[in-house]
């Protein structure tokens, strides 16, 4: 908060305002509707803590998965203001994403993706503010560059792996982002009847290598797994660096009505993967190549994967900041289990196994667990604060439980409005969490906002965790569909404001209106266009019907926020070019006639004059 001391007075005003709201509640507007029943002083404190005065900046960025919207939403904390939308797996007309040649190519045939778990890049187990990775169910993973908040790469759909839910968890030095299949299927892919599920279908865990300077991702290896549904994961850190943990359900290998058939066993598993051992196995040639991918079969290469029995149908698995505790939540239970990494290692050394699944040893539950913490019903995900505090979301109880690592006592519970799913704490899955804010990402919400019809506004709730008791301090609308989010200190992210001219190496860039114009090569027409306040040059061009037209637009501005657009009517073309950027769009001039193009982004008093014509003869 010391970032903005000059505005302390505005907080005082707000306290007064909030207090006034609390006292003005009339019987026709029940207090519960306005304030959730909170008393006046609590409201005033909450208002003070979340109020970011006009012109002030938030302390944190929160990167929130947009689920099947295919996007990432950026929020500021503690104001909970929606700052930006980063399109990733879905076209987004507001930024022209999915319309220009490069982003269109990146999306490929899929204009939809179901994004789940954003993962910030890390150095020594701490967010470093370079990249954000996010997975998607169609076997893909994307990289967003935090220098310009744009999607730079989409890897996949990768072969063999189907339904990439247990992803994109990043290792402590961003060596890997991980993938794992929620849906098993025959590997290699071929039509085999579901009646052969238990034997012929396989799960897949994959390591996606991240190039350390460019962030470029490549599929490094896969591990052939039993046909369980791999659900969530987390990378080991410090004590457990080099390991990855994935929860799995349907270890019954059942099909059909899974709500019944996959809930038969008392325990499912967490798969513990020694990814450094996997790297060594690959280097030693111990793999089969399936559909072009190096695949390790644990039956042939022991010592890479172990199974930890965990409470029925586990969802989240979360590694504590010290790396030694691994928290696995069986979502059909009232406890969450804490495993001890040292004990896991001892059990592996002593071959303290109770069985195996497709050649993968199952460790003895009693030998590897430290505690079963009675957090409450339906534990899903755990995040961490300072001083060994842990926070677990409880879906069934609709609450967050606060408990202590080491002593295992549950000390507080904060109700959430409706069925919390994930939760996210400020830097809460790094080696040094901040312990001040926690956001509950609720799966359902009703009555928290004005009704807008059958689809109720989603609600995320900001919780103050600086004191003994957790305090709900803000209810914010979240764009659907909320899954996981990560919260990083704002000063770790250093976005640029313009693309420097000297960095623009685009072969079709033109910086001078004198070089703008049309060149023809057979049926291929190239229009090099300059966008600068307040003209798109050339202001008109002619092509022949059937020509293949490429328009390459360079925005030669070097001024913050001076974006220009290129909207070409009736041709479904909408490109947005940031200052210093060159973008191309290629199309066939199918329709003849006259078509206007114009700048879509307000840029100056003469923005409306920024227009031209394409004549198709
Ligand atoms: S899941 S509510 Cu897709 Cu991350 Cu847990
Ligand atoms: Cu350029 Cu409006």
Ligand with minimal distance to 534 CA:
2
Find the length of the chain.
617
Which of 614, 610, 498, 515 minimizes the C-alpha distance to 564? 610
Ligand 1 nearest-atom number relative to CA 421: 2
Give nearest CA residue, ligand 2 atom 1: 564
Model pLDDT for residues 417-430, shown as the tens digit of each residue: 988 999 999 999 99
Please tell me whether residue 10 adopts helix, strand or coil conformation. Answer: helix
* Pocket of ligand 2, beta carbon within 6 A: 564, 599, 601-603, 607, 610
Average pLDDT over residues 5-30: 38
Alpha-helix residue ranges (DSSP H) falling in 350-476: 365-368
Cα separation, 162 vs 183, in Å, equals: 5
Q: How does strand 524-532 pair with strand 548-555?
A: parallel
DSSP structural state of residue 94: G
Is residue 41 within 8 Å of 32, Cβ to Cβ? no
Pocket test for ligand 1, best of 232, 396, 480, 482 (most atoms within 8 A of CB): 232
Q: Whose CA is nearest to atom 1 of ligand 1?
A: 483
**What confidence tens digit (pLDDT) does each residue in 501-555 have?**
999 999 999 999 999 999 999 999 999 999 999 999 999 999 999 999 999 999 9
6 has pLDDT over 60: no
Phi, psi of 424 (to 5 degrees): -140, 130
pLDDT digits (tens, 9 = 90+) for 555-580: 999 999 999 999 999 999 999 999 99
What is the pLDDT at residue 590? 97
Q: Residue 531 CB: number of other CB atoms within 10 A?
A: 29
**Which ligand 1 atom lies nearest to the CA of residue 422?**
2
> Residue 482 Cα, ligand 1 centroid: separation in angstroms?
9
| 84-105 CB burial, b ≥16 within 10 A, e <16 | ebbbbbbbbeebbbbbbbebee
Q: Quick one: pLDDT at residue 32?
A: 43
> Given this model, what pLDDT does residue 36 score?
52
116 lines ligand 1 (CB under 6 A): yes
Nearest one of 159, 135, 153, 175 to 278, comparing CA atoms: 175
Tell me the two tokens of residue 44. Answer: 């005033």
- Token duo for residue 93: 């007309």
Find out whether 443 and 420 touch, Cβ atoms under 8 Å.
yes
Distance between CA 218 and CA 167 in Å, rounded? Answer: 15
Averaged confidence pLDDT in the chain: 93
Task: Quote the pLDDT of residue 455.
Answer: 87
Nearest ligand to the CA atom of 565: 2
Choose among 380, 374, 395: nearest CA to 328.
Answer: 380
- The rounded distance, in Å, linking the Cα atoms of 285 and 275 is 15
Strands in 353-357's sheet, in edge-to-edge order, are: 229-235, 243-249, 267-274, 305-311, 360-363, 353-357
Neighbour count for residue 491 (Cβ, 10 Å) = 11
- Provide the pLDDT for residue 513: 97
Q: What is the pLDDT of residues 419-477, one digit of tens each?
A: 899 999 999 999 999 999 999 999 887 788 899 998 888 899 999 999 999 999 999 99
Q: Are strands 140-145 and 399-404 parallel, antiparallel or unpaired?
A: unpaired
Give the separation between CA 282 and CA 275, rounded to whole angstroms.
11
Nearest atom, ligand 2, residue 533 CA: 1
Instruction: Please tell me the predicted confidence (pLDDT) of residue 37.
Output: 53
Task: Give the residue ranges of DSSP H helices in 352-423.
Answer: 365-368
Tell me the ligand closest to 394's alpha carbon: 1
Give 189-248 pLDDT, tens digit per residue. 999 999 999 999 999 999 999 999 999 999 999 999 999 999 999 999 999 999 999 999
- pLDDT bin (cut points 50, 70, 90) of residue 13 is very low
User: What does the DSSP assignment read for 159-228?
Assistant: SS-EEE-S---B-TTSSEEEEEEEE-EESS-----GGGHHHHEEEEEEEEEE-TTT--EEEEEEEEE-S-
pLDDT in tens, 265-296: 889 999 999 999 999 999 999 999 999 999 99
Per residue in 469-500, pLDDT (tens digit) is 999 999 999 888 899 999 999 999 999 999 99
Which token pair is 241? 């660096």
Q: How far is the CA of 484 from the centre of ligand 1 (A)?
A: 7
**27: pLDDT strictly greater than 50:** no
Q: What pLDDT sits at residue 35?
A: 52
Task: Return d(Cα 436, Cα 156) in angstroms, integer.
Answer: 37
**484 CB within 6 A, ligand 1:** yes
Whether residue 584 has pLDDT greater than 80? yes
């Amino acid at each position: 908060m010391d970032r903005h001391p000059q505005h302390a007075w505005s907080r005082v005003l707000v306290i007064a305002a909030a207090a006034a709201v609390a006292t003005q509640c009339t019987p026709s507007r029940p207090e519960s509707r306005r304030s959730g029943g909170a008393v006046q002083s609590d409201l005033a404190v909450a208002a003070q803590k979340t109020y970011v005065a006009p012109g002030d900046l938030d302390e944190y960025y929160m990167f929130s998965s947009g689920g099947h919207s295919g996007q990432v939403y950026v929020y500021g904390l503690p104001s909970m203001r929606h700052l930006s939308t980063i399109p990733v797996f879905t076209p987004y007309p507001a930024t022209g994403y999915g319309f220009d040649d490069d982003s269109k190519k990146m999306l490929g045939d899929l204009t939809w993706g179901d994004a789940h778990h954003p993962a910030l890049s890390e150095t020594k187990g701490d967010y470093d503010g370079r990249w954000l990775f996010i997975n998607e169910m169609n076997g893909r993973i994307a990289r967003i560059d935090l220098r310009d908040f744009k999607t730079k790469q989409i890897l996949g759909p990768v072969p063999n792996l189907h339904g990439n839910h247990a992803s994109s968890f990043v290792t402590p030095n961003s060596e890997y982002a991980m993938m794992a299949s929620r849906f098993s299927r025959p590997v290699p892919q071929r039509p085999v009847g579901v009646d052969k599920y238990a034997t012929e279908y396989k799960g897949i865990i994959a390591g996606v290598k991240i190039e350390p300077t460019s962030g470029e991702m490549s599929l490094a290896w896969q591990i052939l797994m039993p046909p369980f549904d791999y659900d969530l994961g987390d990378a080991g850190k410090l004590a457990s660096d080099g390991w990855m943990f994935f929860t799995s359900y349907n270890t019954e290998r059942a099909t059909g009505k899974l709500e019944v058939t996959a809930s038969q066993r008392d325990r499912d598993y967490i798969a513990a993967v020694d990814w450094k051992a996997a790297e060594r196995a690959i280097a030693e040639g111990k793999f089969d190549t399936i559909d072009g991918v190096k695949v390790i079969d644990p039956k042939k290469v022991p010592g890479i994967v172990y199974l930890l029995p965990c409470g029925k149908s586990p969802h989240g698995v979360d590694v504590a900041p010290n790396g030694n505790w691994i928290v696995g939540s069986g979502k059909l239970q009232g406890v969450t289990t804490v495993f001890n990494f040292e004990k896991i290692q001892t059990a592996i050394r002593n071959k303290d196994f109770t069985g195996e699944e497709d050649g993968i040893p199952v460790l003895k539950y009693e030998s590897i667990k430290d505690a079963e913490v009675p957090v409450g019903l339906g534990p899903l995900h755990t995040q961490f604060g300072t001083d060994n505090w842990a926070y677990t979301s409880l879906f069934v109880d609709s609450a967050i439980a606060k408990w202590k690592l080491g002593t295992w006592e549950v000390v507080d519970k904060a109700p959430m409005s409706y069925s919390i799913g994930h939760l996210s704490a400020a830097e809460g899955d790094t080696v040094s969490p901040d312990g001040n804010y926690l956001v509950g990402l609720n799966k359902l919400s009703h009555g928290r906002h004005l009704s807008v019809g059958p689809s109720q506004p989603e609600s995320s709730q900001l919780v103050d965790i600086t004191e003994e008791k957790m305090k709900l301090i803000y209810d914010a609308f979240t764009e659907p569909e909320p899954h996981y989010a990560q919260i990083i200190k704002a000063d770790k992210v250093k976005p640029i404001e313009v693309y420097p001219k000297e960095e623009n190496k685009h072969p079709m860039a033109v910086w001078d209106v004198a070089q703008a114009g049309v060149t023809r090569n057979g049926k291929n027409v190239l229009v090099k266009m300059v966008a600068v306040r307040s003209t798109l040059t050339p202001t008109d061009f002619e092509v022949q019907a059937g020509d293949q037209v490429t328009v390459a637009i360079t925005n030669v501005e070097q001024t913050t926020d001076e974006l220009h657009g290129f909207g070409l009517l009736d041709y479904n073309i909408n490109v947005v070019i940031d200052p210093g950027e060159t973008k191309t769009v290629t199309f066939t001039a199918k329709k003849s006639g006259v078509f206007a193009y114009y700048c879509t982004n307000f840029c100056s008093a003469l923005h409306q004059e920024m227009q031209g014509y394409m004549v198709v003869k």
